[in-house]
């Protein structure tokens, strides 16, 4: 504003794509100045001194008012547009079972979320969430991944083919896809990579999923990007591929249900809501840098105990018989070939044929969280009694 203009003129300042009207602040912050100075009609030198003093005073007032306006602007920018300055979190597998719980938790925590989904998945419920950005690209699309990662600070990698994939699918989706994602992340400058793995993930594991996870874990550690690997126990929830697949298997096998290891393998089922809360803390606090942490539920359950709890909740009654693991693998493989679309084509044997546990207080130790118990949170299985 120039002196001598009378009323304050509206000025618009553009910063960070935000537009502010300075006239609002002038009404409360800037003094209104006038160019009409009451100069006494005395000697010329006195009149000149008064004019100089008035000019200096006016310039001081203008500087003070501009400083107050800048402070007010900075306060508004910080308070009202803080969301625009937040870093973005890219979530892969956002339309799956785990992603369906993690994305709402991240949003509820105030994070800016971008979901990676194949173009065919653009119409999903998660993709239609108004507060979520949707990046339509696959893990096999390097150009699409680089575009999706622009402005991203943290990647939460949940995508996996474990639900219905064999070794070839796991290598194509999990391993090759993760390599592409890490490569694009290095090029763009991603600051953190959070990867979902499983308890028991080992490169030499006899189980395809765990072997693939072990190989990928090592690749993540050697990627050069700061990482956090979360090894989770079997996750359960309404749309899971754990309890629901076991119910499907019980429907397929009449009268009796075959289980390996004489039903003595120990499990530690972890509720999906608790897992989502833990992952949000990992993202929000920025801790666990370059660490692998293991989390599980609040109880150890033998396979027989878990299967009986599932039968009770679902209303399915079957006898339990022990079958050696090699024979059981052959049976499942044969059924998968006869019924290619059957959920039994999944790696459900991974869940019940081996010990899958960590520290019983792991969730509380790392996150101060007391997880929900299994039997009190599987009421959703009652729908199986009506099928």
Residue 151 to residue 147: CA distance in whole angstroms: 9
In a domain, 243, yes or no: no
Q: Strand pairing of 266-267 and 152-157?
A: unpaired
In a domain, 305, yes or no: no
Q: What is the tens place of the pLDDT at every residue in 124-169? A: 445 455 578 999 999 999 999 999 999 999 999 999 988 766 788 8
- 80, 97, 122 - which closes a domain: 80
Helix (H) or strand (E) holding 63: helix 44-80
**Residue 346 confidence (pLDDT) above 90:** no
In a domain, 364, yes or no: no
In a domain, 283, yes or no: no
Q: What is the tens place of the pLDDT at every residue in 245-293? A: 899 888 888 899 988 877 789 999 999 999 999 999 999 887 899 999 9
Q: Do 222 and 121 share a structural domain?
A: yes
Q: Do 99 and 63 share a structural domain?
A: no
Task: Quote the pLDDT of residue 11.
Answer: 36
Q: Do 186 and 156 share a structural domain?
A: yes
In a domain, 344, yes or no: no
Q: Do 126 and 74 share a structural domain?
A: no
Task: Quote the pLDDT of residue 101.
Answer: 96
What value does the mean pLDDT of the chain take?
A: 80
Residue 233 to residue 379: CA distance in whole angstroms: 20
Taking the complete model, does pTM exceed 0.85, yes or no?
A: no
In a domain, 333, yes or no: no
**Residue-range definition of the domain harbouring residue 51:** 12-80
Q: Do 69 and 25 share a structural domain?
A: yes
In a domain, 33, yes or no: yes
- Going by C-alpha positions, the residue among 385, 346, 332, 99 that lies closest to residue 245 is 346
Q: Do 69 and 124 share a structural domain?
A: no
Q: Do 92 and 45 share a structural domain?
A: no
Q: Do 128 and 205 share a structural domain?
A: yes
- 42, 63, 80 - which closes a domain: 80
Q: Do 109 and 68 share a structural domain?
A: no
CATH of the domain at 102: 3.40.50.720
Q: What is the tens place of the pLDDT at every residue in 191-228? A: 999 999 999 999 998 888 899 999 999 999 999 999 99
**Residue 16 confidence (pLDDT) above 70:** no
* Percent residues over pLDDT 90 in the chain: 54
The token pair that represents 372 in the structure block: 């929900």
In a domain, 343, yes or no: no
Q: Do 91 and 74 share a structural domain?
A: no
Q: Do 225 and 94 share a structural domain?
A: yes
- In order of 121, 246, 271, 305, 380, the CA distances from 239 in angstroms are 17, 12, 12, 21, 9
- 166, 197, 232 - which closes a domain: 232
Q: Do 154 and 39 share a structural domain?
A: no
**Residue 55 confidence (pLDDT) above 60:** yes
DSSP at 274:
H
The total number of structural domains that make up the chain: 2
């Amino acid at each position: 504003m120039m002196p001598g203009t009378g009323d304050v003129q509206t000025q618009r300042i553009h910063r960070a794509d935000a537009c502010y009207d300075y006239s609002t602040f002038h009404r409360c912050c800037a003094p209104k100045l006038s160019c009409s100075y009451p100069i006494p009609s005395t000697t010329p030198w006195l009149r000149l001194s008064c004019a100089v003093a008035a000019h200096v005073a006016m310039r001081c007032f203008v500087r003070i008012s501009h400083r107050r306006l800048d402070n007010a602007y900075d306060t508004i920018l910080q308070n009202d547009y803080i969301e625009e300055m937040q870093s973005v979190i890219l979530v892969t597998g956002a339309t799956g079972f785990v992603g369906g719980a993690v994305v709402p938790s991240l949003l509820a925590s105030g994070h800016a979320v971008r979901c990676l989904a194949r173009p065919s998945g653009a119409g999903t419920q998660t993709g239609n969430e108004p507060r979520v950005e949707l990046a339509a690209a696959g893990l096999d699309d390097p150009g699409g991944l680089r575009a999706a990662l622009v402005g991203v600070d943290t990647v939460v990698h949940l995508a996996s083919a474990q639900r219905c994939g064999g070794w070839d699918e796991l290598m194509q989706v999990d391993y090759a896809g993760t390599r592409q994602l890490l490569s694009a992340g290095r090029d763009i400058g991603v600051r953190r990579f959070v990867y979902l793995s499983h308890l028991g993930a080992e490169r030499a594991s006899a189980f395809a999923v765990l072997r693939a996870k072990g190989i990928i874990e090592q690749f993540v550690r050697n990627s050069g990007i700061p990482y956090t690997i979360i090894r989770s126990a079997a996750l359960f929830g309404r749309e899971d591929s754990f309890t629901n697949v076991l119910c499907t298997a019980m429907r397929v096998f009449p009268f009796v249900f075959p289980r390996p290891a004489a039903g003595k393998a120990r499990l530690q089922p972890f509720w999906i809501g608790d897992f989502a809360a833990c992952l949000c803390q990992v993202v929000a606090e920025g801790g666990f840098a370059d660490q692998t942490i293991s989390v599980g539920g609040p109880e150890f359950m033998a396979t027989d105990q878990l299967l009986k709890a599932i039968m009770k909740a679902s209303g399915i009654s079957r006898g339990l018989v022990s079958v050696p693991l090699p024979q059981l693998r052959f049976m499942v493989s044969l059924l998968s070939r006869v019924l290619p679309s059957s959920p039994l084509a999944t790696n459900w044997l991974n869940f019940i044929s081996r010990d899958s546990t960590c520290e019983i207080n792991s969730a509380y130790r790392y996150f101060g969280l007391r997880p929900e118990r299994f039997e009190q949170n599987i009421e959703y299985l009652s729908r199986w009694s009506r099928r």
